[in-house]
Structure 1
Amino acid sequence: MTSSDPKSPVAALTGLLSFVLVVGGASGLLHEWLGWIHFMGFVRFLAPDGYEIYSYVVMIALGLAVGAAGDALTRRGRA
């Protein structure tokens, strides 16, 4: 895909969602393990009390899956 090809709205949405989930989950893990401030603090509202680490790992895995699905949709649309 060249830079002049427009990106479909679905691809843009899945890319954004994937980014937010992966970076938010990684930020949450860093906060839990090292005590750093949250880069994306709003993701803490998605993690139930007592299950923060599991929730952040699931967010990362889900973000990677959404990114892969969006990439597959984009490739299928170009073929």
Structure 2
Amino acid sequence: MTSTASSSKSPGAAFSGLLCFVLVVGGGSGLLHEWFGWIHFMGFVRFLVPDGYEVFGYVVMVALGLAVGAAGDALSRRGRR
């Protein structure tokens, strides 16, 4: 019988997962709104982007969200060892 590691995440990994979700979904929603005029799913992210740089800001949000998600995944993997 083998022992398995606990499936619960550390608080840091859980927070990074939440932050990753907010940045990626908010940035993607903002891009869809800018390109196609669709409704903002997470409208509060528009306050994080300066006027005139919306598309660039939303792309940066998506990239930052993916980086935070990768860091959180590495953090949770390191904690399982």
Q: Shared topology, TM-score over 0.5?
A: yes
The higher radius of gyration belongs to 2
SS where residue 52 of structure 2 aligns?
A: coil
Structure 1 partner of 2:56: 54
Structure 1's unaligned 5+ residue stretches are none
Structure 2's unaligned 5+ residue stretches are none
TM-score (norm 2): 0.91
CA distance in 2, matches of 1:47, 1:5: 36
The structure 1 segments of at least 4 consecutive aligned residues displaced by more than 3 Å after TM superposition are: none
Aligned CA RMSD, in angstroms, stands at 1.1
CA distance in 2, matches of 1:18, 1:77: 19
- How do 1:5-24 and structure 2 match up within 5 A? 5-24=7-26
- How do 1:1-79 and structure 2 match up within 5 A? 5-79=7-81
Identity of aligned residues (%): 81
